[in-house]
Amino acid sequence: MSLPPGKDNVCVSCEFEQNLGIIREIYFFSTMPLEIVKVLAYLCAREDFKAGDYLFQQGDDDGRAFYFVSGRAGLVCSEEDTDHVVRHVEEGEFLGGLSLLGNMPRLFSLKTLTDTTCLILTREKFKKAAERYPEIMPKIIQSVIKGIRDWERKFFLSHAMGCNDCRRNLGVSLI
C-alpha cells in the first residue's frame, strides 16, 4: 500500500487503508486530491453477499456504486419473464458511478454468481462529501464524460462498424 510516509506502524488489517488504496485506483475518483479520496474511502462500506443475492434489481433506484473486492456477478436484463445475462462483472471492477450523481433507476439487475465482497459508496454519502467539497463535481463530470466517450469509441471500433443496426443507434456520447 502506498501511504504517506511518517506512519510507523502501517497496519495490515485496517480496512480504511485498504479502501483508500482501492479508491485511488478507480478511474472515477482518481483525479481527486488525496484529502477527498480519504474521505470517500472512509465513507465506503464493505458488504458481503452470498451467491445468488441481488445487489440491485432492474428499476431500483438504489443509488449505490460497487467495487468488487472479490467474487463475480452477472448483469441481468429481464424482459417479459425471461432473464438474459448481459455480461459478467469481475473482481476488481467498479460500476454504478453514475447513480451517485442523481436518480438513476437501474436498467439491469446485478446478481452474484459466487460469494462476493463489495466496497459500496452510497449516493447520500457521496452527495454530502460533494456538498463539502464542491470542487470535486467538475472533476467527476470530466471523468464521466471521458468514460462515456471511451465506452462509445470502444464499442464503435469493436462492433458497430460491422453491424448496421448497431450503427444506427450510436451516439451516447452525443447526448
Does 124 bind another protein (CB under 8 A)? Our answer is yes
Amino acid at 136: I
Cα 36 → chain centroid = 17
Residue 114 CA to residue 112 CA, distance in Å, equals 6
Does 125 bind another protein (CB under 8 A)? Our answer is yes
Does 105 bind another protein (CB under 8 A)? Our answer is yes
Binding mask 34-73 for another protein (x = CB under 8 A): -x--xx--xx-x-xxx---x---x-xxxx-----------
Rg value, the chain, Cα? 18
Does 16 bind another protein (CB under 8 A)? Our answer is yes
Least distance from another protein to the Cβ atom of residue 151, Å: 19
CB-wise, 62 or 110, nearer to another protein? 62
Name the 3-class secondary structure at 162.
helix
Least distance from another protein to the Cβ atom of residue 137, Å: 17
CB-wise, 39 or 75, nearer to another protein? 39
- Checking 35-44 for CB contacts under 8 A at 24+ apart, the result is 36/129, 36/133, 36/136, 39/129, 39/132, 39/133, 40/121, 40/126, 40/129, 41/16, 42/16, 43/121, 43/125, 43/126, 43/128, 43/129, 44/19, 44/119, 44/120, 44/121
Least distance from another protein to the Cβ atom of residue 143, Å: 22
CB-wise, 52 or 92, nearer to another protein? 52
Least distance from another protein to the Cβ atom of residue 66, Å: 13
Residue 25 CA to residue 2 CA, distance in Å, equals 11
Residues that bind another protein (CB under 8 A): 9, 11-16, 19, 35, 38-39, 42-43, 45, 47-49, 53, 57, 59-62, 103, 105, 124-125, 128, 132
